[in-house]
Amino acid sequence: MSETKRSPDELRALAARFRAETLRIHAAAPETRVASSLSAVEIYTCLFYGGLLRHNPANPRDPARDRLIVSKGHGSISLYPILADRGFFPKAELQRVCRPGSFLGGIPDPVIPGYETVNGSLGHGPGVGSGMAVALKRQGSDRHVVVVAGDGELHEGAVWEAFLFAAQQKLDNLVLIVDENARCMMDYTARVVDLAPLAEKFRAFGWSTEEVDGHDVEALCKTIGRAMASGFPGPRVVIAHTIKGKGAPSLEGDPLCHIRTLTPEEVEELTGGAP
């Protein structure tokens, strides 16, 4: 069982590296959703290197692990290099994303070591995670269930059923991290179906709610850590304010960045061409 804790400087360096690796994966596999994967780089980095998520690459289903559900499955291509780095699968697999025979698809499935559930069809993580959280509590386990969801995903009605349920059941082992990158597929969420004020909505639902800059690894680690350790008698949410397409200026300001593809040349420029 591993619980790796790195310094803020190391976390920043790791996040930069994983961002570059995500871009390179995208250059080779343009079918991947790069913008929503880039917004979550620091979230995944903090979970796996910030001393937050107990995990066991040698036995991904180790009962002593914390459960991680990546509800915004499509937006977790940036988790691939992290899982490879942690040893869930060989790094060489990163060269084969979306290639025939690879288990690393454009939308991750639980055939990938490290993924618990079917994701990418949006809105399932909070409910399935709530079920796991109930089970762990009833079994006397002190493990956490961490769900990473997008904000656009919160347009799905089923998540609100889960939010009501988790509060009713006082699921103090459930931590939701919302990657609030402010954009769904076709536009800014505020212009499609506005989710604001999101924090107030969660508070009204009975959730412990914190907001943080989702690209500030130091603050992010502290906030997620505080949420996990808090004595609050119910579920907790960390709303991570992020930028969709973070690190790729052509994506950052584009309301349609979800469906944009970067050319290999753009990626080379962004990553300095280094392998």
Partner 1 sequence: MSGPKTRMRDSFLQAMKERMAAEKDIFFLTADFGSPVLDGVRKDFPDRFLNMGISEQNTVNVATGLALEGFRVVAYAIAPFITMRCLEQIRINLAILSQVRPMNVTLVGVGAGYSYEVSGPTHQALEDIALMRALPNMGVWSPADAATAAEMARQALGETGVRYLRLDSHPLPNLGDAPMAEDMKRGFRLGGSRGSAAAIVSTGYMSHLAAGVRDELEAGGIPVRTVDLMNLSSPDLAALEAELAPCCAILTMEEGFIGRGGMDGLLAMHLAPRLPKAKWAHAGLAPHYHFDIGPRDDLLAAQGLSRPALARRVIDLINA
Q: Which residues bind to partner 1, rule: CB under 8 A?
A: 109-111, 116-118, 121, 124, 126-136, 138-139, 145, 157-158, 161-162, 164-165, 169
Query: What contacts 190, CB < 8 A, 6 or more positions away?
Result: 182, 196
Q: Rounded to whole angstroms, how far apart are CA atoms 159 and 143?
A: 22
Query: What contacts 136, CB < 8 A, 6 or more positions away?
Result: 67, 143, 145, 173
Q: 146: which strand partners?
A: 68, 175
Q: Considering the complex, state which of residue 138 and residue 265 has its C-beta at the smaller distance from partner 1.
A: 138
Q: Considering the complex, state which of residue 17 and residue 201 has its C-beta at the smaller distance from partner 1.
A: 201
Burial of 3 (0-12, 13-18, 19+ CB in 10 A): middle
Cβ 234 to partner 1 shortest distance, Å: 16
Q: Considering the complex, state which of residue 95 and residue 169 has its C-beta at the smaller distance from partner 1.
A: 169
Cβ 147 to partner 1 shortest distance, Å: 10
Cβ 19 to partner 1 shortest distance, Å: 29
Cβ 109 to partner 1 shortest distance, Å: 7
Q: Considering the complex, state which of residue 221 and residue 237 has its C-beta at the smaller distance from partner 1.
A: 237
Helix locations, the chain, DSSP H: 8-28, 34-38, 41-49, 79-86, 125-138, 157-168, 189-192, 198-204, 217-229, 249-252, 264-271
Q: Considering the complex, state which of residue 28 and residue 134 has its C-beta at the smaller distance from partner 1.
A: 134
Cβ 65 to partner 1 shortest distance, Å: 12
